[in-house]
Structure 1
Amino acid sequence: MNENATPVRRPVALNRARALPPWSLIAAGVLVGGLLGGGYGLARTPTYTATSYVVAVPTDRSEPASALGFAQAYGRVATQLAVLGDAQVWAGVPVRTLQQSVHAETSPDAPMVAVTATAARPDLAADMANAVSRALTRHAGDVQNATHVELQQFARATKPTAPSSASAEVTGLVGASAGGLLGGLLLLVRPRRARPEPGLAASVPGPAVAAEAHGQL
């Protein structure tokens, strides 16, 4: 029974697809994409970001250029186990969490290291950023006699007041844009309505002509 019904349903579905107005696919894509994107933004757990800053200061036996170079070096070791192993005690989270949630950035013009942490709670994000900065400063102090550069706390991370992740409105707009684009692509590959050939319509008699001819016979 299914084998006989399949050939009948396919032409009906194709005819319905051809009969839809061109803008319907784009409108449907915008609507579905906006709903999916907004739903994802509402269901996703918000994330918070906090940043702490430390600055490299040269001692009397060093030059400012060396402080800039050591700041670049400390930026690379900020997320290493030697630093995170101490930071986990003050942050209250495992080293694996710090490795996944904390990253450091440096500036080519200033001897400064920015330690940024991301977490599901605003207080935890600030605690992790400050803990890594504190551990990095302590690690730099242990080798200060050799480097002649001191690493000092420049600005502590404060508890963020708003999430850094995209809101449901933003994810909804992104989803609507993607859905509209997909609808436009489907519009390009949609089966078009077949147009009758010019000579074919003239050669086929209408109902009235066919009835008259049948009566004459």
Structure 2
Amino acid sequence: MTDNPTRPRRRAGAPGRVRTLPPWSLLAVGALAGGLLGGAYGTLKPPVYSATAYVVAVPTEKSDPASALGFAQAYGRVATQLAVLGDAQVWAGVPVRTLRGAVRTATSPDAPMVSITATSSRADLAADMANAVSRALTRHAAGAKADTHVELEPFARAVEPTEPSSASPALTGLVGASGGGLLGGLFLLVRPRGSRPEPGRPAAVPSPALAADARGTL
């Protein structure tokens, strides 16, 4: 009946060892969980493709390069307006709402050039939308050429991309692991620290002298 009296003590000590994991384990768990979630997000999310077309502002005989640069900045803002997108939807084959959410423009302070970038889950549609907006913007500038003395000319057509521009699963996994590790570190900083002994650590035993004094006072 008393073959192994120490077995219950081993069972009681195991949970204590589990509860006293080192603090850095929270960082590892957070980084692992964040990496798994980030990788899964990058794998399950549909890829996004980007295509860019370029147009350049050219001054006429009655204008100068400085005016062309200024109008290039203005046409960069006009490209995403309804007056241009309304014409572009005919060639792109998508509604204005789709163009407005998928097309972005950018200009340079040093060159009279406008870049028109379209994004889509389809590579061919991204190129079609960028070229459609480029064509509509060029026609819009031609209609105002008599007043602005600046015309827009196509500089480079958008081509169908061969690779997605969205982040790869490896990158999203790395970002998720970094975020998970950061959250684990923040938890370590804000967790409450009490004066209670750690679970699994034996309680302090009073010295014989203190025990004798205690018995003497009873």
Range class of TM-score, shorter chain: 0.7 to 0.9
- Contact conserved, 1:103 with 1:116, CA < 8 A, in 2? yes
- The count of corresponding residues between Structure 1 and Structure 2 is 192
Structure 1 residues 43-69: Cα deviation after superposition (integer angstroms, max 9, x where no partner): 111101111000000111111111111
State the SS of the aligned residue for 1:169: helix
Return the offset for 1:191: 5.0
What is the aligned partner in structure 1 of residue 107 from structure 2?
A: 106
- Contact conserved, 1:126 with 1:157, CA < 8 A, in 2? yes
What is the aligned partner in structure 1 of residue 206 from structure 2?
A: 203
Structure 1 residues 95-138: Cα deviation after superposition (integer angstroms, max 9, x where no partner): 00000000111111111111110100111111000000000000
Return the offset for 1:201: 3.5
Correspondence 1:9-48 to 2 at 5 A:
18-48=19-49
What is the aligned partner in structure 1 of residue 196 from structure 2?
A: 194
Contiguous gaps of at least 5 residues in structure 1: 1-13
State the SS of the aligned residue for 1:201: coil
- Contact conserved, 1:48 with 1:121, CA < 8 A, in 2? yes
Structure 1 residues 16 and 194: CA distance shift in structure 2, 3 A: farther
State the SS of the aligned residue for 1:134: helix
Structure 1 residues 175-202: Cα deviation after superposition (integer angstroms, max 9, x where no partner): 0011111112222344557349xxx935
Tell me, in whole angstroms, the C-alpha distance in 2 between the residues paired with 1:128 and 1:163. Answer: 16
State the SS of the aligned residue for 2:131: helix
Tell me, in whole angstroms, the C-alpha distance in 2 between the residues paired with 1:27 and 1:64. Answer: 58
What is the aligned partner in structure 2 of residue 86 from structure 1?
A: 87
Correspondence 1:63-74 to 2 at 5 A:
63-74=64-75
Tell me, in whole angstroms, the C-alpha distance in 2 between the residues paired with 1:189 and 1:17. Answer: 21
Q: Which has the higher helix share?
A: 1
Moved more, 179-188 or 111-120: 179-188
Tell me, in whole angstroms, the C-alpha distance in 2 between the residues paired with 1:189 and 1:67. Answer: 57
2:131 is aligned with 1:118 = no
TM-score normalized by structure 2? 0.81
Tell me, in whole angstroms, the C-alpha distance in 2 between the residues paired with 1:137 and 1:149. Answer: 11
Q: CA RMSD in A?
A: 2.4
Structure 1 residues 63 and 191: CA distance shift in structure 2, 3 A: closer
Tell me, in whole angstroms, the C-alpha distance in 1 between the residues paired with 2:153 and 2:185. Answer: 56
TM-score normalized by structure 1? 0.82
